[in-house]
Amino acid sequence: GYLNRPDLTEAAFVAAPAWCPVPRLYLTGDLVRRRGDALEYLGRMDHQVKIRGQRVELRETEDVLRDLAPVRDAAVVAAPGPDGAATVCAFVVPAPGTEADEALWRGLRDRVAAALPEAFVPALFTAVGAVPLTGSGKQDTKALRALAEERLAAPVQGSGPADDLANCWAEATGSLPDDEGRGFLDAGGHSLAAARLAGRILGRWGVRLPLSVFLRDNVSLADLRARLP
């Protein structure tokens, strides 16, 4: 067990089944699959999440980002969005001389989308000076997740109908808009979010918008406001 840490020992060790020759087993956090007479290593369970019903390995998104020229380092976590659904959030240390602006995030999103399925693409990008580490030198996932939750829960500026639309956007996409000119897809939107947002707009304003407005035209929040009464 863990020295002077009964809480960690209790969480990490479980009673072994009757057929096992040892009394206790250690939960390593690794995910494996039995194949014939061997075990196939699939990755760490603490980095696998379900996004819209699809199993996502966050390390794969990290690896793609780290291989891109504008990125010096990256970390990816999942945090609950305004609707409570898990949202993929990327923290990026830009390479020297790289501006952390909307053009960078759009480019990174497109590159990830070209390499991985839709569910792996971050809905939120945040620039950081360095990826936070724990005392043991490992990635501080807890701190990153707390920062992601704080960003996802940031209040919308403004008042009146604009806030209603922004909140509908947030409920559909999983994150509040930080730029009214940012396109739906650039904000992490996807087909399910498009259907959800179109339904909310129809119910709230009585305006029927085809999904192509979101998925082909990449409509922004500012564009949507201009279309509504």
A 10 A CB-CB count for 173 gives: 28
Same domain, 142 and 177: no
Q: Out of 18-22, 80-84, 115-119, 193-197, which region has the weakest mean confidence (pLDDT)? A: 80-84
Same domain, 74 and 51: yes
Cβ neighbours of residue 29 under 8 Å, at least 6 residues apart? Answer: 44, 45, 46
Q: Which domain holds residue 220?
A: 161-227
Same domain, 85 and 51: yes
Same domain, 40 and 53: no
Averaged confidence pLDDT in the chain: 83
- If one counts the domains in the chain, the total is 3
The enclosing domain of 197 has a CATH number of 1.10.1200.10
Same domain, 134 and 205: no
Predicted confidence at residue 134, as pLDDT, reads 84
End position of a domain, from candidates 110, 127, 152: 152
Kindly report, residue by residue over 33-51, the tens digit of the pLDDT.
Answer: 777 788 776 555 557 788 8
Is the full-model pTM beyond 0.75? no
Band of pLDDT at residue 83, cut at 50, 70 and 90: low
Band of pLDDT at residue 68, cut at 50, 70 and 90: very high
Same domain, 96 and 129: yes
